[in-house]
Structure 1
């Protein structure tokens, strides 16, 4: 994934998490992702793996396809 895609995806994760009213701590507990890694994800600087996407998407009530929609 290129840098721009990572930034778009990071913003999408953060905005959706906030819209759902899920705190960073609760999201980390639900997904098993560390807080520093979530900060990098939402900041658009993390490299994503499929494993991480399959943890994040359901926690946001989405499928991986929905989470990645429109990102090239």
Structure 2
């Protein structure tokens, strides 16, 4: 979360100087929980379909797709 705060702070300063830019960074985070690593990128609640891929090492990947097929998380 610190990186998001850093990016938004820089954007806010830029906009105070007249840049007029919107925040466009893709939200993401990671966390280590009890020997497992969780990594998320995008907005999973915008997805209407989930595609699961199991990897050989026991890990898995979930792809969240919008109604039109775009990858959203």
TM superposition score normalised by structure 2: 0.22
Relative contact order (C-alpha < 8 Å, sep 6+): which is higher?
1
The structure with the greater share of residues assigned to helix is 1
What is the TM-score of this pair, normalised by structure 1?
0.22
Structure ID, larger Rg = 2
